[in-house]
Chain A
Amino acid sequence: MINVGLNHFLIVSGILFSLGLYAVVTRKNAVMVLMGIELILNAANINFIAFSKFGNLGLTGQVTALFVIVLAAAEAAIALAIVLNIYKTFNNVNVDEIDHLKD
């Protein structure tokens, strides 16, 4: 068995990204879609930090990962506020049933 290197971390991040994408695509509940987005952001962060360790750009990758975490927090705050408002209006958070803009 070869030693753990860059590839191993990238594979973990790829699988995590796919799982997050699956949650976003298949789930009806808006909160579950948000959880899928968090998984995707985490996968991207693993990539950033892995390249920061194995590349030669210094700590730039880690700083970017820090920015991504801050953005994820702001995104979750806003998105959940919108979800709560949707629940108040439609009494429902299933993303496939909230299509009133269509008619």
Chain B
Amino acid sequence: MLTEFGKIFVFILLAAIFVVVALFVAKLIRPKRPTKEKLSIYECGEDPVGSPWVKFNIRFYVIALIFLIFDVEVVLLFPWALSYKEYGVYGFLVGLIFLLILTLGMAYEFRKGDIQWARPEPKAINLKKLFTKESQIDNSSEIKE
């Protein structure tokens, strides 16, 4: 007689016991002969270069931030989606307004280019300039730079 969460609990408990027992038994029976080679950090067989604590780009943070906000949005939509039908058009409108407000945020992120990953800055090609002779010389000089 288990509830659904009881099953999940038993599953987690078994998984934890399995890991702990396996690691403990392995620690008991394995030989332990460390050398300097064995203890060094494995970096594809090469000698490790530099510190592993590299500071990474702040753009990852903005992506994580967008993920978190829309994660929370979806969490709020779950209970709404289960019960809006009982309230007819009113219930639907409640969720629609909610979604529209958050779509504004999505549009803002698209407009500011936070979602695009590698942000290439394309040089606007001026077609008129391209077909006049003197500008062609200008263009080529730009390329050389």
Which residues of A does B touch, CB under 8 Å?
A: 66, 69-70, 73-74, 76-77, 80-81, 84
Interface residues on chain B, number (Cβ under 8 Å): 9
Residues of A within 8 A of B72 (CB): 69-70, 73-74
Which single member of A70, A76, A77, A80 contacts B76 (CB below 8 Å)? A70
Bound CA–CA A80/B65 (angstroms): 10
Which residues of B does A touch, CB under 8 Å?
A: 58, 61, 65, 68-69, 71-72, 75-76
Complex contact B68–A73 (CB within 8 A): yes
Which single member of B65, B71, B75, B76 contacts A81 (CB below 8 Å)? B65
Complex contact B58–A77 (CB within 8 A): no
Q: A70-B75, A77-B68, A81-B65 are in contact. List 10 more A-B contacts (CB 8 A).
A: A70-B72, A70-B76, A73-B69, A73-B71, A73-B72, A74-B72, A77-B69, A80-B61, A81-B61, A84-B61
Question: Could you name 9 residue pairs across A and B whose Cβ atoms are closer than 8 Å?
Answer: A66-B76, A69-B72, A70-B72, A73-B68, A73-B71, A74-B72, A76-B68, A77-B68, A80-B61
Residues of A within 8 A of B65 (CB): 77, 81
| Among A74, A77, A80, residue most surrounded by chain B Cβ atoms (within 10 Å) | A77
